Structure 1
């Protein structure tokens, strides 16, 4: 993606972004009224509360007891409240001091880096970040983008009400982000080792916008933009051709979607000269959310992703993406979610760009139209749906060294009326062990808590060597060999029988114990069958050879807030010992009888 931005001219970048400052009252007063009311109501509630504080004792808890949220919670709330105040000030022309207070509080923080990422302090054996040696992480990137976009829309008012604050914003951006970004080319998120993940576009996209809006020296601005563009190009080149995302749907919004937002900024400031929309595989990546949707807010979730994520996503980003690549299915899918509230939590820049996207606000909302079947050959993921029967099946291949990996090769999800019944539990609350060598001590990461068998007493292990083999995809079916080469699994959606079937086959002499993770409430359990009332309220029947007996149904309390918000207070594991056989088949269908 080579482009000489000095030749194209970025001096007037702010004017090309399509976001006016608060002096343009006509533009601000023409915004969607419901959205404005939501922002102003939130700002009024905020003003009645004290500002969030970020405390050293909370920061130190990461090292003391592994807790991240004690600090990241108030730090995120400070960014959110400041962003809300900025929007409210721009929308009304009032309460500029409130926004200025938030901006200065952000500038006064010792660090913008989250404790979990502060490896510089950890290397010193300390729990206090050094302002002279800042670490550029997601927290720093999220904070600098608040400063940048606030400066764009409130600049004139800040000069009038609090002269000197804008100079302070630029100083903090330069010291905390710009200088370390240019001065250290060993940041892991640059992906120079070939391992790229959502940090790369997430951080570099924010650095790009901050450089365009806060850096006044043309040569420094050029170096910042050039370096960010190089990193974004590297991430784009690493994207699979099938448009898949091994980090899953939730992280798609902070990986591929962040990339596209950065490309859009570049496209705007170069007056369309960049025209990145024909780059591979942008058109395929745009289809990922629609391909993963199960309906009613449920999604196919792999790795660290919730099955029912926060619906307050920046759907306008996807809508513009669909318009740029000319995909009406993508734009229709995005427009179907326009009724969701748009919160500043998604980012101040995202919120501002979305507010002034007039095509988004005038697009006709359409009902969800989900693909009948999707096979992603690079990511090795099959999703098949039978809309009349309300059935959906997702089957995962891949390997156990993926980004945000769980040990889950060959696992599957079975949903009825949108809600998964045989589930992937997804992401628990992050702690100090989440990305440490102890990661797989967490029960939700282990293959024993995924829909895969225990083979000869062994669970799956982490690592790229643990991978699916012999994949044979069809429209509604995927056959693959599980790690170790013992079990051949075939998972299919039988449209004629209106059922999902999962068959495991192996040579005689192996001990195979099947594990199935269930959401909902068990209703009837007997040899060869289990009836579950799903989270969507329908009765679902699981059936197997009754000679194997009822199996064992284990209840496990859900001891994590993120997981409980999705699955409720408990989940169940059905364990069926199929040792002594050479095959096992499970059938999932609606329960049509009377209990």
Structure 2
């Protein structure tokens, strides 16, 4: 009988189930290399295999980058982590590429390259990233487990099973010994504790999932293996607690791929090794989680990307195919086989399962499926998403879409962006989210709000009396309502007052948004109303306000440089145009060009349109007339085909 993981399988139940399934499970993993060999000459995978052969050529001609102390020390001394990680992921890229090639088509030269590489990985001081080793704990870093230590253990354990008959026995013994020393002994035998074990975000799924798969494949003691499964399920339950019943991932679609991907990879391995008795995908919440990418896909491969997520993500087709089969979720996304080099972290787990699990039937669904007409409300996240279809002059169709978020400012990978919204047209987020910045020490430390991608200055929200939104759980978007207003329309209203505690005379701030896109219309419309209620300032506040600061500056973020005309701002995208109408008697418009760096350390340019509330000094020289108790900002946005 299938039991949901939340009910906590007993050790006896796990042992009994795995006695039925382990033998056939091992045979199933051994047959993976036959599947890889079958795909070697498939034209749909030609680019994938060519990409791997580039790594093989580098392994033949270029020395393997060293993970030197000079690279390791940079993070603690300067906060910089790029140099170490480039070397680390180059090593993992070669490992994954050579492992897949050797499984599909082993040769003496290829196996020798792989064995040398495995030997080098097994001799690394730590399998963790330098940024993930606690300060002062370098001596114990060999047994510290982070995301990438767990991924390395999973990679090597799957190679052991798949390549057991072709790898040198001494290399196999070395791999087993290192996984035992670095993973099994501290985590399962000594029961050392790790912060990720109870985390409600991607770390719990990735770390426990990678280690758990290694345990299923390599541990021979039934009792210890059952304990490992119980520990893994415990962490997976913690991961699921980070999701509400709406299935929404606060960290964004990129981290959905990472966290729920590894949840699924372990769940499927456990199901196979228990002869179907232990099925973690039978948990009812997992179907809603599986539908998340489809719920936030706008069009053309562009997603709602609140938090540290890219606007464009390639969802692993192997993962999509399995979830489509197991969870009966609709797939209306581009399904293609991505190159290993498209993944900055060169993940073996994704690459291998993209070959093993990708189902051509899902490719067909992509062209047959239609975007859902009804708006989506992810209640636990307080995200509202609506899509519609506009008719162009050539009788063609173009998708227009809108997304807005509530939530709070202590979410995983949080940005201070309550009330922030996206406007999308023709496959492009025109008013956009900046996504993730470059991960450095400062990116995760107090004061991170000064970073463009994190602070409210990098989002389409106001700065009030010189103050941006504050971090912390107390800064929360109180949902006044989010509701469907028409077949393709949605209305949302938030009280955002608690996000601006440093605005000295702000009494109340609410944001209301109303989106509508009528069937077969030529344009879609968004109406935005921001309402500010002010209190009488104290004498101290009055003195502070002698400094010239506009009471309100409304920001709007885009990668497109807008044009300002009389009472309107216009952003012209590749296929769609967004026009914002404002009251020029009350607001002054200007545009700033802002340069920053993205998650992959690449230069990025944004344009921030700003509407500043006009100020009129009173006879005391005060920068605002404090007899005014209320301020409104009412804006209309129109999206139409270019």
Q: TM-score, normalised by structure 1?
A: 0.89
Is the CA contact 2:377–2:383 (under 8 Å) kept in the aligned structure 1? yes
Is the CA contact 2:319–2:357 (under 8 Å) kept in the aligned structure 1? no
Instruction: Give the one of 400, 405, 415 matched to 1:396.
Output: 405
Shift of 1:250: 0.9
Distance 1:403 1:132 in 2: 25
Distance 1:440 1:184 in 2: 37
Where does residue 584 of structure 2 map in the other structure?
A: 546
Instruction: Give the one of 581, 584, 587 matched to 2:633.
Output: 584
2:307 equivalent to 1:300: no
Where does residue 332 of structure 2 map in the other structure?
A: 333
Shift of 1:586: 2.1
Distance 2:35 2:452 in 1: 55
Is the CA contact 2:389–2:517 (under 8 Å) kept in the aligned structure 1? no
Shift of 1:472: 0.2
Where does residue 530 of structure 1 map in the other structure?
A: 569
1:428-461 Cα deviation digits (max 9, x unpaired): 1100112122322312211122111122332111
2:82 equivalent to 1:69: yes
Distance 1:250 1:362 in 2: 20
2:493 equivalent to 1:479: yes
Is the CA contact 1:408–1:450 (under 8 Å) kept in the aligned structure 2? yes
Is the CA contact 1:384–1:393 (under 8 Å) kept in the aligned structure 2? yes
Shift of 1:289: 0.3
Where does residue 545 of structure 2 map in the other structure?
A: none
Shift of 1:392: 1.1
Q: What are the equivalent positions in structure 2 for 1:6-45 lying under 5 Å apart?
A: 6-9=15-18, 13=22, 15-16=24-25, 19-21=28-30, 28-29=37-38, 33-34=42-43, 36-45=45-54
Between 1:427-436 and 1:552-561, the stretch displaced more is 552-561
Instruction: Give the one of 373, 376, 383 matched to 1:374.
Output: 376
Is the CA contact 1:79–1:146 (under 8 Å) kept in the aligned structure 2? no
Distance 2:27 2:450 in 1: 48
SS in 2 for 1:155: coil
Is the CA contact 2:20–2:274 (under 8 Å) kept in the aligned structure 1? no
1:542-594 Cα deviation digits (max 9, x unpaired): 211122354121111234464857xx53433323326766211222223689x
Root-mean-square deviation (CA, aligned residues, Å) is 2.7
Shift of 1:316: 1.8
Q: Quickly say closer, same or farther: Cα 1:592–1:380, change in 2 above 3 A.
A: closer
Distance 2:40 2:117 in 1: 24
Shift of 1:117: 1.1
Where does residue 73 of structure 2 map in the other structure?
A: 60
Where does residue 517 of structure 2 map in the other structure?
A: 495
Unaligned runs of 5+ in 2: 391-397, 485-489, 499-506, 537-550, 616-627
Between 1:24-33 and 1:92-101, the stretch displaced more is 24-33
2:193 equivalent to 1:214: no
Distance 1:214 1:186 in 2: 21
Shift of 1:514: 1.2
Shift of 1:293: 1.0
SS in 2 for 1:558: strand
Shift of 1:47: 3.0
2:435 equivalent to 1:420: no
SS in 2 for 1:123: coil
Instruction: Give the one of 84, 90, 93 matched to 1:80.
Output: 93
Equivalences, count: 571
1:375-421 Cα deviation digits (max 9, x unpaired): 01111100111122632111110000111111111111111222112
Distance 2:213 2:401 in 1: 40
Q: What are the equivalent positions in structure 2 for 1:334-373 lying under 5 Å apart?
A: 336-338=334-336, 340-341=338-339, 347-357=347-357, 359-360=359-360, 364-367=364-367, 369-372=370-373, 373=375
Between 1:201-210 and 1:177-186, the stretch displaced more is 177-186
Q: Quickly say closer, same or farther: Cα 1:274–1:57, change in 2 above 3 A.
A: same
Between 1:549-558 and 1:575-584, the stretch displaced more is 575-584
Instruction: Give the one of 211, 230, 255 matched to 2:259.
Output: 255
Distance 1:173 1:450 in 2: 44
Is the CA contact 1:22–1:93 (under 8 Å) kept in the aligned structure 2? no
Where does residue 532 of structure 2 map in the other structure?
A: 506
Q: TM-score, normalised by structure 2?
A: 0.83
Distance 1:141 1:26 in 2: 25
Between 1:367-376 and 1:56-65, the stretch displaced more is 367-376
2:187 equivalent to 1:181: yes
Q: Quickly say closer, same or farther: Cα 1:20–1:362, change in 2 above 3 A.
A: farther
Is the CA contact 2:51–2:340 (under 8 Å) kept in the aligned structure 1? no
1:514-563 Cα deviation digits (max 9, x unpaired): 111122122x31342112222x3533212111223541211112344648
Distance 1:439 1:153 in 2: 44
Q: Quickly say closer, same or farther: Cα 1:155–1:26, change in 2 above 3 A.
A: same
